[in-house]
């Protein structure tokens, strides 16, 4: 368990610089709010191709950002000059920007209230990946690649991302927060050509997922077992029949369903998107605020939560980048839209008494945006239904494992998803792999076809390091939990035929 903040971060002049910022803010006429946020985000990327270390990055970007609300107008400035003069200049620049933007305002900035918090917080992990010797990590990655090649793979590579994120936050409302998050993403790829002369090359990705854990996750994951299985799965996939397009019952594994949740639900229930703030970059959403409490998003089995507290969740924090304490809340309950993701400004616009803590910035140099929490589909609350039991409910269908390509429209309404592996389900049992499968639907139609959920023991966290949003674009890590789920009579396409 991570129990203490990195001493190298604590050795920075955090309170000294924060006090300079607060004192300078208090001298700004018509100041309504201000905060100071200092980041040190250590990032390591290792890439081993076969036995060669192809790339190694070890970066520690460090700097601070200041935000002010002056006479109803936002101002922001950032710098990497960690001196009192550097901080004072940044506060002055933020105040000037607020004054310049003031004539352009269509409405005054108002923030939902939040109590002052003073705390230190660390995410849950056992072994910080930055404490593991480089040679040991590279040797581990080479060994996995060796196993993939010995199993018959024609090429193999392994990439590990590791991040240690440190943040210090002070506000004019009295909050003082120190936080540390650690996360890793180990992933290999292995490939095989089709020896029947089709010219096709198939690749398989490891099932290891990005997690808010330390190197203990890499040690624990069964890479040795999976290496041999991956090549066998590839060989079977290359020999598998191509799917016939039509309507099928689908059982979606958590390794596939998480991405459908991310795109069709999590992005679709961001309030800033619903209000048009993302229209130029990523579109809007069909789930508009006037439909809260009435929009039928899916079947009554559909219970979606937003969660900033989930243990090992990539979007879990103690406090967000506006000093709001982490929370858990309902977004969709019994298939009906009941809530949104909010930061303090969006909460005030939505007439909510408090933000649910969804402000995040991916860098000291970027202003915090409203970003999604861990958005998850809850398991069957009445019975611990297994995957085998869900499969047993299907006479003819397809079981989909892993994520791959996807597309969705600007309203988060029409979509298409594919996967890593596809198995025919015949009379409740798996009956060999299929190829070229993609499922297509409209968001409320798809979720309305949800007819079965795995129980708590089948629930898994999946996710990604790289959810993009904003102009300029910011990238955030996020997890999505879900059980395997059964969807009745969903449209399935043959991707190869569609591509002709």
**pLDDT (0 to 100) of residue 213:** 97
**Distance of alpha carbon 222 from the chain centroid:** 23
Q: At 256, phi and psi to the nearest 5?
A: -105, -45
Taking residue 103's Cβ as centre, other Cβ atoms within 10 Å add up to 7
Whose CA is closest to 462, among 446, 491, 439, 485? 485
Q: Full-prediction pTM beyond 0.85?
A: yes
Which parts of the chain register pLDDT below 50? 1-2
Task: Convert the pLDDT of each residue in 251-309 to its tens digit.
Answer: 999 999 999 999 999 999 999 999 999 898 889 999 999 999 999 999 999 999 999 99
Strands 460-469 and 406-408, bridge-based pairing: unpaired
pLDDT of residue 1: 42
What pLDDT was estimated at residue 3?
65
pLDDT digits (tens, 9 = 90+) for 299-338: 999 999 999 999 999 999 999 999 999 999 999 999 999 9
Distance CA 421, CA 196 (A): 20
- Domains in the chain, CATH or no CATH each: 7-239 (3.30.2290.10), 246-498 (no CATH)
Residue 197 pLDDT: 65
Token readout for 410 is 């600007």
480: which strand partners? 462
Structure confidence at residue 80 (pLDDT): 98
C-alpha to C-alpha distance for 487 and 446, rounded to whole angstroms: 7
CA-based nearest residue to 455, from 389, 403, 375, 397? 389
| pLDDT of res. 500 | 66
Comparing C-alpha atoms, which of 182, 183, 179 is closest to residue 166?
179
Whole-number pLDDT of residue 325? 98
Nearest to 285 by CA among 301, 297, 302: 297
């Amino acid at each position: 368990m991570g129990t203490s903040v990195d001493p190298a971060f604590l050795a920075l002049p955090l309170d000294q610089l924060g006090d300079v910022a607060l004192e300078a803010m208090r001298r700004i006429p018509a100041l309504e709010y201000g905060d100071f946020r200092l980041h040190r985000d250590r990032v390591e990327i290792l890439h081993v191709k076969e036995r060669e270390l192809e790339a190694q990055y070890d970066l520690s970007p460090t700097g601070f950002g200041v935000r002010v609300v002056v006479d109803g107008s936002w101002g922001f400035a950032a710098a990497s000059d960690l001196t009192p003069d550097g901080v004072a200049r940044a506060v002055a620049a933020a105040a000037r920007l607020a004054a310049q933007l003031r004539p352009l305002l269509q409405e005054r900035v108002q923030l939902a209230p939040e109590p002052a918090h003073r705390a230190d917080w660390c995410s849950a992990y056992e072994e910080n990946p930055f404490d593991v010797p480089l040679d040991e990590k590279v040797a581990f990655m080479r060994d996995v690649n060796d196993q993939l090649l010995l199993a018959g793979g024609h090429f193999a590579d392994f990439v590990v991302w590791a991040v240690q994120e440190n943040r210090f936050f002070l506000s004019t409302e009295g909050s003082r927060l120190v936080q540390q998050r650690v996360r890793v993403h180990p992933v290999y790829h292995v490939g095989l050509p089709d020896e029947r002369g089709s010219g096709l090359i198939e690749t398989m990705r490891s099932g290891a997922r990005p997690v808010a854990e330390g190197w203990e996750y890499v040690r624990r994951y069964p890479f040795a077992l999976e290496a041999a299985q991956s090549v066998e799965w590839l060989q079977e996939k290359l020999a598998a029949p191509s799917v016939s397009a039509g309507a099928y019952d689908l059982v979606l594994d958590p390794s596939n369903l998480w991405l459908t949740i991310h795109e069709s639900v999590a992005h679709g229930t961001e309030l800033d998107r619903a209000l048009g703030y993302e229209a130029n970059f990523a579109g809007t959403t069909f789930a508009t605020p006037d439909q809260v409490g009435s929009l039928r998003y899916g079947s009554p089995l559909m219970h979606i939560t937003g969660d900033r507290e989930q243990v090992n969740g990539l979007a879990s924090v103690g406090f967000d980048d506006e000093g709001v304490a982490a929370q858990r809340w309902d977004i969709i309950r019994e298939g009906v839209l009941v809530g949104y993701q909010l930061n303090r400004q969006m909460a005030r616009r939505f007439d909510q008494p408090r933000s649910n803590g969804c402000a995040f910035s991916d860098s000291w140099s970027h202003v915090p945006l409203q970003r999604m929490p861990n958005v998850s589909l809850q398991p069957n609350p009445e019975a611990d239904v297994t995957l085998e039991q869900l499969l047993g409910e299907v006479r003819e269908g397809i079981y989909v494992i892993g994520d791959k390509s996807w597309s969705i429209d600007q309203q988060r309404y029409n979509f298409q998803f594919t996967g890593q592996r596809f198995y025919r389900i015949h009379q409740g049992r798996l009956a060999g792999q299929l190829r070229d499968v993609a499922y297509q639907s409209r968001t409320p139609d798809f979720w309305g076809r949800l007819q079965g959920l795995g129980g708590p023991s089948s629930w898994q966290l999946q996710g990604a390091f790289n959810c993009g949003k904003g102009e300029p674009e910011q990238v955030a890590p996020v997890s999505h939990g879900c059980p395997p789920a059964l969807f009745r009579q969903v449209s399935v396409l043959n991707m190869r035929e569609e591509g002709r």
